[in-house]
Structure 1
Amino acid sequence: MKLKAEFTTEPFRGEGEPPPHAVRAREAASAAGLTVDFGPLGTTARGEAGAVLDALPAIARAALTAGATRLTLQLSTEEARGPAEPAVQPLDRLIREVEAELGGRLAELDRQDKQRAVRLLEERGAFTLRKAVVTIAEALGVTRFTVYNYLNREA
């Protein structure tokens, strides 16, 4: 079984270089042999269940000793995503519309356009659909925490 660990470390920093606690947590995940996606406000690490579970103490230790005041973690099985459900189909359509409007796949956009894409999807009601944040995060190539940050930035 494969697992996905999504984690954020705090305190958050705005623009510029990521804080040392986030970098150290990412390095610990990479050193454990996990596939790592490092975003501005969160990290996703994927791998075999044993490898992910074994790496979690090292990730937490690295973040906390480098100055993190909080580590938030969510674990899920990769198989849990399964095939698209009927409620996701309208979301896929909305994502394709926004991609067409912005002139490219969401994952290939720069951060400013990704933020714009989230605003457009919110205006069109995408976040009222089931599993919207997870699906949109995957389409953007970011963590779901990053999507929440983009949403909160507009609030």
Structure 2
Amino acid sequence: MSGPPDHPFVTAVKPLVDAIGGELLAPHEARPDDVVLAWEGENVLAVRLPQLSESLDHILAGLERRHGMPLAELDRRTKQSVVRILEARGAFSVRHGVETVASALGVSRFTVYNYLNRENAANAANVAKGEQPLT
């Protein structure tokens, strides 16, 4: 970024921008679809948001870092947990999201759908019994 990298606002938002896979830019480098952020009335930086497909790749890479290994090497229970996290983050609303996740997990699309269906069935059963859904 060619803007003020030591500005307190830049320091504050950088972890969030990094987490979503965005890019920090100087305000004058912003394109119409970038988000220009101001601090006390002054444009300090612009954020270029990733495309949805790039966001999914970024989320998958973050999950690999969190687990310390490729997602394909995780055990079945942990893979199911990863699918729940990805569903909560909207990964399956992205075009080819199921295929991308299945590839990253080293499983078939059918298996990803089974993980999703199993979770949804368990939540429905808990709600029917008056219990809280699984989180």
Q: TM-score, normalised on structure 2?
A: 0.49
User: Which one has a larger percent strand, Structure 1 or Structure 2?
Assistant: 1
Higher relative contact order (CA 8 A, sep 6+): 1
TM-score normalised to structure 1 length: 0.43
Q: Which has the larger radius of gyration?
A: 2
